[in-house]
Structure 1
């Protein structure tokens, strides 16, 4: 998935205004790089990881922000992560993305506390709008 970068000014204040980071967890390096480029083009601060254990090793709950999490990951899937660790994210909104979703998995993900469950391919603007919504949510930070 290559991001569609258009000419003109992006809303530079999006990331800085909320002073929150978008944490991106996806094992597919080209997808991860593409999403990072897209989000940074909107001046969002991004930290990316290739696995849930790598994210857990580096994440500090006081950082706040939004987690964009792939469903199908090695070691621990995005859904397993949410079912085990979702409650320890201190109300951080989570957007679960997948290339292979089904209604039962979506229901489990929503029950585990994800804000949104979206399937690839998706429109860049749809993801950016979801992240903006997530970053605007009040948190305990």
Structure 2
């Protein structure tokens, strides 16, 4: 579904099987998904015009999720961010929230938890253009 980004989910995760699994899951809910292996790949292609939400891994090579948000957060223009991680201590979660993260999900998380978090951030399907 190409909708100009209103129902788009951007996934940034260096683990290809995880990224592919998340993309398949989200597309099964008729979401428009773009996926990237690194923060640099994402920011190099994101033009700031789309809305939606960003599903961002905390631990990434070269530039981690928190470093990315602290450096490029303003370019996201208020796009909500859901951070995912296999390790999320309270200090890291607090730092993530301070960087604008609206939800922090520890891997492994339930599919329903992820879908609920994303659904709360996107307009209902009927309100999305083209649906």
State the TM-score, normalized to the length of structure 1: 0.82
Distance 1:97 1:88 in 2: 20
Q: How many residues align?
A: 123
Alignment partner, residue 10 of structure 1: none
Match of 1:100 among 73, 80, 87: 87
Root-mean-square deviation (Å): 1.8
Matches within 5 A, 1:6-45: 19-45=6-32
User: How many angstroms does 1:19 deviate by?
Assistant: 3.5
Alignment partner, residue 128 of structure 2: none
Contact residue 6 and residue 123 of structure 2 kept, 8 A: no
Distance 1:106 1:136 in 2: 26
Secondary structure in 2 matching 1:117: strand
Structure 1 runs of 4+ off > 3 angstroms? none
Contact residue 21 and residue 44 of structure 1 kept, 8 A: yes
Alignment partner, residue 104 of structure 2: 117
Greater helix content: 1
| Higher RCO (C-alpha 8 Å, min separation 6) | 2
User: How many angstroms does 1:70 deviate by?
Assistant: 0.2
* CA displacement 1:23-52 (0-9 Å, x = unmatched): 000000000000000000101000000000
Structure 1 unmatched runs, 5+: 1-12
